[in-house]
Structure 1
Amino acid sequence: MTSPSNDTPPAAIKTSKAPAISRAAAVLRLLGKSESPLNLQTIADRLELVPSTCLNILRALVAEEFVAFDSDSKRYSLEAGVLTLARQWLRRSAFNDLVQPVLDRISREREITMLGVNIVGLEHIVVVASSQAGNNLQISAQIGTRFPALLSATGRCIAAFGNHREEDIKRRFDTLRWDDPPSWTQWQQQVKETRERGYAIDTGNYIAGVTVLAAPVWNASGKLRHALVALGISSTVQRRGMGKLEKDLLSAAKSLSQQLSGEG
């Protein structure tokens, strides 16, 4: 799975009501996405920060043990303190406790990649659990990866069940990047179909040759906070049985929703 959301855009940092926090978060996201440590100038350039301001942020993050500094290479990377926060959040998440065996089962039986995602309004979704099939050709997304909220099948679920204003949805939709982008009219029809059947399908729009399915998972307050996502090479999905996968995904999402609401 590719094309995760970008680092916090410089414009968003400049308009933030808490710019210091936005800048620190942007630095952490940038370091988290980088496959190798970065130097000060690279970080400042990518986030459009004044180097002296960027240095102060990095020093504060190093002091809090969220960022590590290598004095030999003069480069920065994430430190273990970030993991502490992540583990604390994961421990408190009932969804994470319940979803992993569900993902493992469907992934194994259908030979497909399964994800559990956390939905953050119209901003983005975050992968919080995953399971990959054992076949040779795999599509994957690392835990912690962020994607624009309205992208692919999950986005259709958010638009269908998230109770968001159409003008807000349209504004976000216009910024999305697809391999084969649907028109706004086509996408609205797909959202309507999602609402009617209870789950969404993206066949090659987001990533050419890849089918993505998503089903909503409701929390105890009846709000859409998570989703189950299945993704695989379209030919493989069809060969293994699209109908069976749809049934498994919807059944699992309903079961998880009942457990999270205390009904299961």
Structure 2
Amino acid sequence: MSLDFARDERADLVKPVGAVITALAILRCIGRHREALRLSDIVREESINASTAHAILRTLEHEGLVAFDRRTKRYTLASGLTDLAAPLTERDDPAMRAANAMAAAAQELHATIGLWRRVGDEVELLHVADSSATMRVAFTIGRRLPMLLGAMGRLVAARGDFDEATLERGFEAVPWAIVPDYTTWRAEVATAQRDAIGLDHGHVNAGILGVAVPVEHDGPLRHVVAAAMFDAGPHPDTTVIVDRLRAVAAVAGDQ
């Protein structure tokens, strides 16, 4: 008797609302198809009463979740769904979280600032912010580069569990403009491990200063915020650059 009572009590607490379930079924149905759907298509596929489906679709259209083409009499999903999901997307997407902070830092530092993600033996550019300077370093979103490249590479090497042979191969795979001395580079990796800062003075691109900081404080290094600027240009002191990049990294990491 007591077990039946407990089961009934739980059912009352989670009793679904029919109209909500039907609305979700309609949205999922439309989302499964590349082409726009007629009311009759939705009714047939979901076995829903036509008048109920029509009323729900009109409500979803009013709320901006569904778009209705009055010429073809067909329904598609609308941008209101994107707006509805935006807070969740921003929580999970470091690029979206950091976009405004990156734009502000790029202007302040007269630099190009990128948010990079490690993907296997490479780093991939997720987002970039440019300054308004006439001459500036250009990055392309989606570009992939060797993981040990430049300022970022020193951080990757510092935070990775690599043996010496792997580091040597990775170092040799980097398309250096001016190849650094390997012993000096290893000392710079040790400094990056100690200070959580990666620096590159013109070895990737002559005359370009690269500064990088990690997004994750500890554990595996998945994301890096890096700035690139003309080494002889009107940029702030390195300490100022690092502090600004760390502030961006904190936003990207939601810390």
Do they fold alike, i.e. is TM over 0.5? yes
Aligned to 1:102: 101
CA RMSD of aligned residues (A): 1.9
Aligned to 1:144: 142
**Total equivalences in the alignment:** 166
Q: Decide which of 241, 245, 264 is 2:241's aligned counterpart.
A: 245
**If the length of structure 1 is used for normalisation, what is the TM-score?**
0.59
CA distance in 2, matches of 1:118, 1:149: 10
> Counterpart of 1:136 in 2: which secondary structure?
coil
Q: Which runs of 4+ in 1 moved over 4 A?
A: none
The answer on whether the counterparts of 1:118 and 1:227 sit within 8 Å (CA) in structure 2 is yes
Deviation at 1:119, TM superposition (A): 0.7
The answer on whether the counterparts of 2:95 and 2:252 sit within 8 Å (CA) in structure 1 is no
CA distance in 1, matches of 2:176, 2:158: 19
> Counterpart of 2:100 in 1: which secondary structure?
helix
1:80-95 to structure 2, matched below 5 A, reads: 93-95=92-94
1:96-245 to structure 2, matched below 5 A, reads: 96-121=95-120, 123-218=121-216, 222-236=219-233, 239-245=235-241
Greater Cα offset, 172-181 or 197-206: 172-181
Give the aligned residue type for 1:100: A
Structure 2 gap segments, 5+ residues each: 1-88
Structure 1 gap segments, 5+ residues each: 1-90
CA distance in 1, matches of 2:113, 2:144: 15
The answer on whether the counterparts of 1:118 and 1:226 sit within 8 Å (CA) in structure 2 is yes
**If the length of structure 2 is used for normalisation, what is the TM-score?**
0.61
Larger Rg: 2
CA distance in 2, matches of 1:103, 1:254: 11
CA distance in 2, matches of 1:250, 1:96: 15
CA distance in 1, matches of 2:103, 2:175: 30
The answer on whether the counterparts of 1:100 and 1:129 sit within 8 Å (CA) in structure 2 is yes
Aligned to 1:5: none
CA distance in 1, matches of 2:237, 2:172: 33
CA distance in 1, matches of 2:112, 2:219: 27
CA distance in 2, matches of 1:196, 1:222: 15
